[in-house]
Structure 1
Amino acid sequence: MPPTLPSRLLRGPDGDATSRLAYGADYNPEQWPRAVWEEDVRLMREAGVNIVSVGIFSWARIQPAENVWDFAWLDEVMDLLHAGGIGVDLATATASPPPWLTAAHPEILPVTASGETVWPGARQHWRPTSPVFREHALRLVREMAGRYADHPALVAWHVSNELGCHNIYDHSDDAARAFRDWLRARYATLDGLNHAWGTAFWAQRYSDWEQILPPRLAASHPNPTQQLDFKRFSSDALKEYLRAERDVLRELTPQVPVTTNFMVMGGTKGMDYADWAGEIDFVSNDHYVVPGPQARDELSFSANLTSSIAGHRPWFLMEHSTSAVNWQPVNLAKREGDLARDSLLHVAHGADAVCFFQWRQSAAGAEKYHSAMVPHAGADSEVFRAVTGLGQTLEALAPVAGSGREPARVAVLFDWDSWWASEQDSHPTSLLDYHQEALDWYSALLALGVRADVVTTRTDLTSYDVLIAPVLHVVPEALAKDLTRYVEGGGHLVTTYFSGIVDENDHIWLGGYPGALRELLGIRVEEFGPLLADDTVELDNATNGTVWTDRITVTGPEVEVLARYRTGAYAERPAVTRRASGRGSAAYVSTRLGADGLAGLLPRLLATAGVESELPAPARGRVELAVRRDAESRYLFLVNRTDDSVPLPGLTGDLLIGQAGDTADGGLVLPPREVAVLRQPSP
């Protein structure tokens, strides 16, 4: 488990005795004339900024040629920030190699599956497995660490930046060699690999390790286990690179904590962050809202999952946006109140630092239309006034710093192997969306006002009364046994279509679906019934299903049919089942119901475990509740999800932030898109 945020991050470069939440941004002074720097520090102090990330894309400035170094400008920036009382999360600057390096060593450039070279001109144009790139990058890391090891502004190291954002899958010869080494370590023998990959099919049996390649452009569907293993390998290759930089930093600056910024959000699925978390001293994350009906649900889901990855200890929000971004098809500005609400929702789910990309909005370059703490309009702007207001709010929330998240009774299980494997080609449908299905369950819980954790298979699942495992496609034998013990011990499992189908090698569990979970669920499916894109089926509980149906036969004792299909090929057959087993139960939902349909079904599933909303009735579905806790206090974060005022009768405690209301019992009224935090004594 990763440790909590080191105290030096919460106390500033001089180690003040008072703990606080960290607040700041990526700071890129090399984009600006020297005259702007002092003004930046003055405005940072005005806004309440106490930490910035520096040097992220500075390699070409720090090392303008192979044997030429220029640290004078960075020395001055570090000194200015320290004089202003601002700590520095110093990046190793290895995120994007400089032109002189790629010109001299084009062999460090990534290669796509179709054999195309990824050329310089953007960022992250390097192979994770390139020994040449690693040699030059680690040389830079050593220079940085040696120079700034004792600088009083340095509070943390920031390895690279968003590892894998653009270079997660490299199919070069370097990658092929590293992939073979990874496979040797995993399978030991070619016989082991041939069995795991099912190479008896399509005459793919390997007789020499050198015959094995990454899944490059092929005539038809590449071997599915080869594809899955390449995804695992690619995540591990970047993790190994992370370790390489980290080890240099720990060797030269053992007193300085090390992090790197994950991207737990939306469609970023190439990196298994649950596996990476133990490699760093504290977890950091970047998150950007993508507009849509579930935009804030997804923000909450991702922050919640980040907390799980961090072991429910405080973590660092390294990047999000003050307003619009530059990389979406249409880049919408945030509405009044969204900047603070988005930020505080991350704090509600365990963030002890709130930082933005970036401090000052760029005048040139690919991200010049990306919002910042100081926009193009300057400090005399609504954005900067909102930034300053958030700084004051975070100062008022200082007592929360260092507290952990209080576990919920319900958990949504999120599994990278299942995400990767369930969406591969040559499957029953290409319409399945693993992340969307998990998000729909989470949205339904939010709509009911039920607090839930988003967890991974590395979490102790037995601590939850209800475990929702949507599309848990990959179920190794050990996990199947764990889930059976969980149910027999009193837990209530809910799973869905296309779950339990394959083992860790992507081999089908034979005997009928849902494979490894068939006996536990007490059902058997002989054939899947995926639906065409525009098809729907009706259920007899007034919900509609899309994407998938199953031809279910009840086989086990004590199986209750909670809903049946009214229409479609499987009309009158079970659609939702639940089997009592031991002291618990196992339920199965065989179609995609969407967030609204699940909100109608969930109360019946939750009632079995006696789970209800902790919110007063007027707030359910309108307010999100998250709870943080330390030895002395509980902190109730109440986030208004709507554009209307919401009463919160009956909730009491010391009000850290928010507006007092005039309800009959003296409770709170949450204004539109606002957040209140109540402090209660810890039981």
Structure 2
Amino acid sequence: MIHDQNARPSTHQETTRHSAPKGWPSSVPGLAYGGDYNPEQWPEVTRVEDVELMTQAGVNLVSVGIFSWAMLEPREGEYDWGWLDETMDRLHAAGVRVALATATASPPPWLTHQHPQILPETAEGTTLWPGARQAYSVSNPVFREYALRMTWAVAQRYATHPALALWHVDNELGCHNAHDFSEDAAAAFRSWLTTRYGNVEELNRAWGTAFWSQRYSSFEEILPPRAAPMFVNPTQQLDFHRYSSDELLDYFREIKAILREITPGVPVTTNFMCSTRTKYMDYFAWASEMDVIATDHYTVADSPDRHIELAFSADLTRGVAGGRPWMLMEHSTSAVNWQPRNHTKTPDEMLRDSLGHVARGADAVMFFQWRQSRAGAEKFHSAMVPHAGVDSDVFRSTVSLGEALRRLAPVQGSRVHAEVALLFDYQAWWGAELDSHPINDLSYPEEVLHWYRGLWESGVNVDVVHPSADLSRYRVIVVPTLYLVTDADAANIEAAARAGASVLVTCFSGIVDEHDAVRLGGYPGAFRELLGIRVEEFWPLQSEEALRLDDGSRAEMWSEKIHLAAEDGAPAAVVSRFATLGHAAEAGSTVTPGSTAEAGPSAEPVPASIAPTGEFTLAGWPAVTRRQVGQGVAWYVGTRPDAQAVHGLVQEVLIEAGVAPEQVDAPVGVDAVRRWSGEGEAARSFLFVLNHTGQDTTLKVKGAELLTGTKTRGRLTVAAGGVAVVQEG
């Protein structure tokens, strides 16, 4: 039935008022469990069955209406609320709460047909047409007007519905349209630049436009970094990344303002994509605008270390959330559909993935999607109810996970404590991967994950935080490839070292300021005095080359001419030196610890086939240095050690700083993470043990195992591929 947008709400909507505080959706008991629910794809009989199955599975929260704009507003100004009214009422009656979407994630065909100017454009000038999703430019004022109108209509309709627990703004903002190069975007970019720089001469100075005759005489001459004959000005590219992230955030703010006005007591969020694959939204800058942090995460099928990347992404999400509990808004029960070859999960892996996020701070486990679609681009993406129906391992796993999360209700609200920080900055990512660099295939997330892996193998908890974060509580701080850093953030890192932290900085860090201008006087620029070194010149290696250091360790990709020098106090001491250069082994020098059950950090390295390639100029020069700074220590790594060497170096730094792993003697490949609630004598700890190996493991643990309801008596055996959660004491 078609309704006018001003139609009166139903009776229960008139009499029920919301009083939920800003923050976590308080009407959801225990840990939240559910997923994206798309009833508009199904007939009535299936919708009725859906709610019955949700009750069976223990679902208590679903996201509804994410891609429903065309169904809710089939023609401009005419609204069909019938199916959504019934869905909200039916879910409420079953005790399932709703994260209600603004329905703006994809404009309906009538809108793009009437107003094709809302469509985004690529750097090459190609229009991105309808037929998929997110075919809109957030800079286009017509699209903004329609999206805000749709948000207002949904909010007015369901403001007082008792099922409403949370607002879900749009969906994965910037996932497919992070960068728009249209004329509307060009105008918005110029406005953003005017606000940032004030006058064009300041912009010319920041962008270094004296190079290649790029000097601007007015802001009107400036364009987005569209396709050009050669490398586009790097600071122009960097500022366009910043503008694009800010423009998407501004769109979120406008929608949030409407929701806050109509429903001031209902928390508002959008689903981030905190991982090593989502680059162009600065989620640290977005975090303060969210009432609760939510994220989506999907593992990479062809990675043997996908469980380590999952751990990193969860720790990153917790860092973005400032340590507070967060929501896993989407992940997959089994295979996705968008990778070259998609990985089918076993029931054990589905449980490990889900509880791996909970172990690191998630208080919600949700999936895309509830029921696997019959049609459309994601019909082969797994769901909680698969094509095979309820008589399937996937649905049985869905029910089992719901029971597990019910048993883990006491964990809600508890937090992870870490003594180690790994610094991560989206803007450093953007800068590090600009073109025309000493090495142009360097991957910032791969470098970050390279060092995170060494920490994960060492069994310590890690907070992944921004360089501007409060670092005073950390005993070890790892700073991987922080190519771009502000003066303030560099000073924050140095202050932590002087106050007692062990700070480890890796190569290609501190090189440029926030304008991508090189810090002169020798690398690593911002960290030169802290580290007590001066790098004269980079010596990148070719892909077939590898290095040996004088301690027998192996490195690749990078070397540099390091001088020991300090204007303030003594220079650094040499820990290891470059020794020989040769050909890299075809398969690498080691098996990555933790990636299989066969190898560990204590294993002997597999010799690399390093054959002489001629005189190595840097033989004998420092590769790794260490310097006492105030009450702490500053380490520098002027190359890229292999996985075995990273593990050994991380161990040395942790031991020196007095940081020990969780005290359960977990072998490599067995993840042990604690969450804590309360303080002092009232403190409770929950130990999560995730066995990623193919062998049973026995740990020294005492307490109640929550998943089985059994008591441990000082020893806990976790089956190969299994999970245990112990409330200790």
Query: What is the TM-score of this pair, normalised by structure 1?
Result: 0.95
Cα distance in 2 between the residues matched to 1:376 and 1:267: 29
Q: Deviations over 1:398-435 (max 9, x none)?
A: 001122222x1111110111111011001101121111
State the match for 2:240 in structure 1.
230
Instruction: Give unpaired runs (5+ residues) of structure 2.
Output: 1-19, 582-615
Q: 1:19-98 alignment to 2 at 5 Å?
A: 19-98=29-108
For the pair 1:672 / 2:720, whether they are aligned, the reply is yes
Cα distance in 2 between the residues matched to 1:594 and 1:130: 47
State the match for 1:327 in structure 2.
338
State the match for 2:692 in structure 1.
641
Mapped contact 1:444–1:599 kept (Cα < 8 A): yes
Mapped contact 1:659–1:676 kept (Cα < 8 A): no
For the pair 1:286 / 2:288, whether they are aligned, the reply is no
Structure 2 letter corresponding to 1:9:
P
For the pair 1:384 / 2:432, whether they are aligned, the reply is no
Q: Deviations over 1:531-575 (max 9, x none)?
A: 112221112233221121111111132522111111133221111
Structure 2 letter corresponding to 1:356:
F
State the match for 2:320 in structure 1.
309
Residue 659 of structure 1 and its aligned partner are, at CA, apart by 8.5
Cα distance in 1 between the residues matched to 2:391 and 2:247: 46
State the match for 1:397 in structure 2.
408
Alignment counterpart, residue 190 of structure 1, candidates 194, 200, 204: 200
Distance 1:387 1:421, change over 3 A: same
Q: Deviations over 1:463-517 (max 9, x none)?
A: 1011000001112222222222211111111011110100111111100111111
Distance 1:205 1:548, change over 3 A: same
Mapped contact 2:468–2:492 kept (Cα < 8 A): no
State the match for 1:106 in structure 2.
116
State the match for 2:669 in structure 1.
622
Q: 1:641-660 alignment to 2 at 5 Å?
A: 641-649=692-700, 651-657=701-707
Q: 1:537-552 alignment to 2 at 5 Å?
A: 537-552=547-562
Residue 269 of structure 1 and its aligned partner are, at CA, apart by 0.7
Alignment counterpart, residue 525 of structure 1, candidates 517, 535, 547: 535
Deviates further, 258-267 or 596-605: 596-605
State the match for 2:307 in structure 1.
296
Mapped contact 1:89–1:158 kept (Cα < 8 A): yes
For the pair 1:9 / 2:25, whether they are aligned, the reply is yes
Residue 524 of structure 1 and its aligned partner are, at CA, apart by 1.1
Cα distance in 2 between the residues matched to 1:660 and 1:77: 39
For the pair 1:337 / 2:348, whether they are aligned, the reply is yes
Q: Deviations over 1:91-119 (max 9, x none)?
A: 00100001000011110000100111011
For the pair 1:420 / 2:430, whether they are aligned, the reply is yes
State the match for 1:15 in structure 2.
none
Deviates further, 327-336 or 477-486: 477-486
Instruction: Give unpaired runs (5+ residues) of structure 1.
Output: 13-18
Cα distance in 2 between the residues matched to 1:614 and 1:393: 23
State the match for 2:226 in structure 1.
216
Helix, strand or coil at the partner of 1:634? strand
Residue 625 of structure 1 and its aligned partner are, at CA, apart by 2.1
Residue 658 of structure 1 and its aligned partner are, at CA, apart by 5.4
Query: What is the TM-score of this pair, normalised by structure 2?
Result: 0.90
Residue 6 of structure 1 and its aligned partner are, at CA, apart by 6.1
Q: Deviations over 1:647-676 (max 9, x none)?
A: 102x222322258699xx731011112222
Mapped contact 1:660–1:668 kept (Cα < 8 A): no
Residue 7 of structure 1 and its aligned partner are, at CA, apart by 7.7
Cα distance in 2 between the residues matched to 1:146 and 1:219: 51
Residue 641 of structure 1 and its aligned partner are, at CA, apart by 2.2
Aligned-pair identity (%):
53
Helix, strand or coil at the partner of 1:302? helix
Q: Deviations over 1:183-223 (max 9, x none)?
A: 11111111111110001111111101100110000110000
Distance 1:203 1:5, change over 3 A: farther
Residue 47 of structure 1 and its aligned partner are, at CA, apart by 0.4
Q: 1:375-524 alignment to 2 at 5 Å?
A: 375-406=386-417, 408-524=418-534
Mapped contact 1:318–1:354 kept (Cα < 8 A): yes
For the pair 1:590 / 2:638, whether they are aligned, the reply is yes
Cα distance in 2 between the residues matched to 1:267 and 1:567: 35
Helix, strand or coil at the partner of 1:196? helix
Structure 2 letter corresponding to 1:240:
D
Mapped contact 1:225–1:505 kept (Cα < 8 A): yes
State the match for 1:601 in structure 2.
649
Distance 1:530 1:573, change over 3 A: same
State the match for 2:175 in structure 1.
165
Q: Deviations over 1:209-263 (max 9, x none)?
A: 1001100001100000000000011000000000011000001111111110000
State the match for 2:145 in structure 1.
135
Q: Deviations over 1:60-115 (max 9, x none)?
A: 00011112211111101111111111101000010000100001111000010011
Cα distance in 1 between the residues matched to 2:194 and 2:63: 39
How many pairs are equivalent?
Answer: 667
Cα distance in 1 between the residues matched to 2:46 and 2:704: 42
Residue 284 of structure 1 and its aligned partner are, at CA, apart by 0.4
Cα distance in 1 between the residues matched to 2:709 and 2:450: 31
Superposition RMSD in Å: 1.6
Cα distance in 2 between the residues matched to 1:5 and 1:299: 31
State the match for 1:564 in structure 2.
577
Mapped contact 1:5–1:282 kept (Cα < 8 A): no
Distance 1:504 1:394, change over 3 A: same
Q: Deviations over 1:28-86 (max 9, x none)?
A: 01111111111000000000001110000000000111122111111011111111111
Cα distance in 2 between the residues matched to 1:595 and 1:83: 53
Alignment counterpart, residue 353 of structure 1, candidates 357, 364, 367: 364
Cα distance in 1 between the residues matched to 2:549 and 2:91: 62
Residue 453 of structure 1 and its aligned partner are, at CA, apart by 1.6
Residue 628 of structure 1 and its aligned partner are, at CA, apart by 1.6
State the match for 2:589 in structure 1.
none
Mapped contact 2:564–2:571 kept (Cα < 8 A): no
Distance 1:432 1:364, change over 3 A: same
Mapped contact 2:34–2:61 kept (Cα < 8 A): yes
Mapped contact 2:540–2:559 kept (Cα < 8 A): yes
Mapped contact 2:420–2:461 kept (Cα < 8 A): yes
Helix, strand or coil at the partner of 2:580? coil
Helix, strand or coil at the partner of 1:404? coil
Helix, strand or coil at the partner of 1:566? strand
Mapped contact 2:23–2:291 kept (Cα < 8 A): no
Mapped contact 1:539–1:566 kept (Cα < 8 A): yes
Cα distance in 1 between the residues matched to 2:98 and 2:443: 39
